Amino acid sequence: MGVHDDRLYRSLVDNAYECIMTVRTDLTVGFVSPSSTSLIGYTPEELEGRPATDFVHPDDMDRAALGLAGWASWGMPGGSSSFRLRHKDGSWRMLDMTASTAVDDEDTLVAVYWRPAGYQHIVDTVLSRLLRGCTRAEALAPLLDIFDWSINDASVAIAWHEPDAGHRQVATTNLPAGLTGAEEDPGAPWRHARATLRPLFESDGPALDGRRRAMADQWGRGTFWIEPVADAGSSVPALVTVWNRHEGPPPEAHAQGMSLVRTNVELILRWSDQVAQLDAAAHTDALTGLPNRRSLFDLLARDRRGGALLFCDLDQFKPVNDEHGHHVGDAVLCQVADRLNECVRLSDVVARTGGDEFVVLAHGATDAEAADLADRIAVAIHVPFTVDGIEIRVGVSVGVARTDAPLSDTTLARADRAMLADKARRREASASRV
């Protein structure tokens, strides 16, 4: 081997993105390439001679020990594995590892090649979080690492809009919303990307305004790439923004990462929208749009306050369906739901728990407030309903159960019994008038 070859091999090792390390038969670290500093913070000199197991996460130690124990008998297995290694700052970094057998003049060694955990590990993390029912922010955050932003000195953000929560984002390096489009007035480049649903590079689109350019300069950010992603759960597209440093490479260098991230952002947005729709369907009465019985019991289990439950059951509703058809009966039920919502306080909840049964959940209501609410409901339902020009009259029986203890299914059972008693009194009064 000539001098030229020696220089080439040394250059290949010293400048490699991967960290190359050898482990001796006594499991101490031998040679370490310079990239250890960028991967786990330690210089080669700080690692050499130390037990390799000092840096492996306790939960990964058994797998590491099994691999090393079998090395002398049958060599290192092919393929790659992922382990968490302790960084010098005390954190844990997930790294992908491959290994092979190496020899020097005296010993047979294990050669280990480390690099940051790849795309598959990040996708596994995202899927695991989605299956646990995480938020959008928790699912989207791991995708930022696909860009290897810390190594490339880039800044990355994913911004989206939630109808009930407004603009949200996850970002590296605390990138401000003014540089990610996560604002009501996002700035011309992000507004243009949302409007056209086309990717935008700084050189291709409207320029930053003075405030945002000054902000970018303050953060040491130079050029950007904005990629819009349609959001099934919002009329406002999501945005992926990658910023490179001043005098750095163009953002187009992140093409592979952007392609992977865009696909996964769309998957997460679609998934979370479908989950939200399924959850809403499971907790909402399809006809009236009110919370359903399941939703009511979830509220009782979740909010352990006292107050009152009012069990409302319509009187003379069956003849409506028999004489005019179910479409008229459905229309009456929708109007009943509207009138109940008009009777209650803003903090109260009206739920439809059965065919013509409704329950009002009134946290904190006193005896007097509950009685007044029951009277308002009776008066409101007594007013005739009009459907397709037909005047419909129904009544309502209301049972009230109040307690200072947490409201529960026991309270609801008491309200049900009180409603049946009220219905019986109404029947007796009607019979006596006849």
Q: What is the pLDDT of residue 383?
A: 96
CB neighbours of residue 17 within 10 Å: 11
Distance (Å, whole) CA 345 – CA 358: 16
Q: What is the pLDDT of residue 24?
A: 87
> Taking the C-alpha atoms of 334, 340, 345 and 347 in order, what is their torsion angle to the nearest 10 degrees?
-50
Q: What is the pLDDT of residue 72?
A: 54
Distance (Å, whole) CA 261 – CA 147: 8
CA nearest 95: which of 77, 108, 113, 79? Answer: 113
Q: Are 40 and 88 in contact (CB under 8 A)?
A: yes
Q: Which residues of the chain have pLDDT under 70?
A: 1-4, 67-79, 431-434
Q: Which two tokens stand for residue 384?
A: 């005739």
Judged by DSSP in three states, 296 sits in helix
**Rounded to the nearest 5°, which phi and psi values hold at 110?**
-95, 125
Q: What is the pLDDT of residue 77?
A: 57
Q: Which two tokens stand for residue 99?
A: 């290994």
CA angle 222, 228, 231 (to 5 degrees): 145
Distance (Å, whole) CA 267 – CA 231: 10
Q: Which positions ≥6 away from 344 have C-beta within 8 Å?
A: 350, 360, 362, 373
Distances (CA, A) of 434 to 330, 382, 430, 431: 30, 20, 7, 5
Strands 29-32 and 19-23 turn out to be antiparallel
Q: What is the pLDDT of residue 434?
A: 55
- Helix (H) / strand (E) containing 98: strand 92-103
- Where does 205-266 show beta strands of DSSP type E? 221-229, 238-245
CB neighbours of residue 352 within 10 Å: 26
Tallying the residues shown for the chain, one arrives at 434
What domains can be seen in the chain, in order of their start residue? Answer: 3-117 (3.30.450.20), 120-281 (3.30.450.40), 293-433 (3.30.70.270)
Q: What is the pLDDT of residue 64?
A: 81
CB neighbours of residue 320 within 10 Å: 24
